[in-house]
């Protein structure tokens, strides 16, 4: 098992790397050339800049049982299909029970934006969100290590 981080715009890279190190779990950060993310104890893979280049690189690296940190519903769906366990920056696990509804919401939001509409962006990140993510990832790491 390894932890793969879709690091482009990810607010929990530090927490994820810290927990990976504490649990002696391999950690891989994937980002494009517009970001420079280097963390002690983690391997950084930099891919060329472009639509979804980091996502496709991550999908090609993921294996069954890996943990994937991402905000991207499409990437989460591809990871689920490969047997990985994706989790978002707030600690929500993506799974077969919620991914279709999330993808549908994303599709509807894209339609609104294409039609010229505006949607409210996310609010400022809170310490509580970081704690919830940390607890969720900690529990997920323990669970995945037990299923080895």
Q: In this predicted structure, what is the pLDDT of residue 43?
A: 95
Cα–Cα distances in Å, from 124 out to 49, 71, 127?
26, 15, 10
Contact 129, 13 (CB under 8 A): no
| pTM (predicted TM-score) | 0.86
Q: What CATH code is carried by the domain that includes residue 6? A: 3.40.50
User: Is 121 inside a domain boundary?
Assistant: no
User: Is 100 inside a domain boundary?
Assistant: no
CA 87 to chain centre: 6
Query: Which whole number is the average pLDDT over 53-69?
Result: 94
User: Is 113 inside a domain boundary?
Assistant: no
User: Is 108 inside a domain boundary?
Assistant: no
User: Is 122 inside a domain boundary?
Assistant: no
Residue 139 has pLDDT above 90, yes or no: yes
Q: What does residue 38 show for φ and ψ, rounded to 5 degrees?
A: -130, 125
Q: In this predicted structure, what is the pLDDT of residue 101?
A: 75
Query: Which whole number is the average pLDDT over 79-83?
Result: 96
User: Is 119 inside a domain boundary?
Assistant: no
Number of domains in the chain: 1
Domain that holds residue 49: 2-95+127-146
């Amino acid at each position: 098992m390894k932890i793969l981080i879709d690091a482009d715009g990810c607010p929990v890279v530090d927490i994820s790397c810290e927990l990976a190190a504490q649990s002696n779990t391999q950690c891989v950060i994937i980002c494009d050339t517009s970001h420079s993310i280097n963390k002690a104890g983690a391997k950084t893979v930099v891919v060329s800049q472009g639509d979804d280049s980091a996502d496709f690189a991550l999908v090609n690296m993921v294996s069954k049982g890996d943990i994937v940190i991402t905000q991207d519903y499409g990437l989460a769906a591809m990871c689920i299909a490969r047997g990985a366990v994706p989790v978002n920056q707030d600690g929500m696990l993506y799974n077969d029970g919620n991914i279709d509804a999330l993808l549908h919401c994303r599709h509807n939001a894209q339609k609104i934006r294409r039609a010229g509409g505006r949607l409210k962006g996310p609010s400022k990140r809170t310490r509580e969100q970081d704690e919830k993510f940390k607890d969720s990832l900690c529990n997920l790491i323990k669970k995945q290590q037990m299923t080895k």
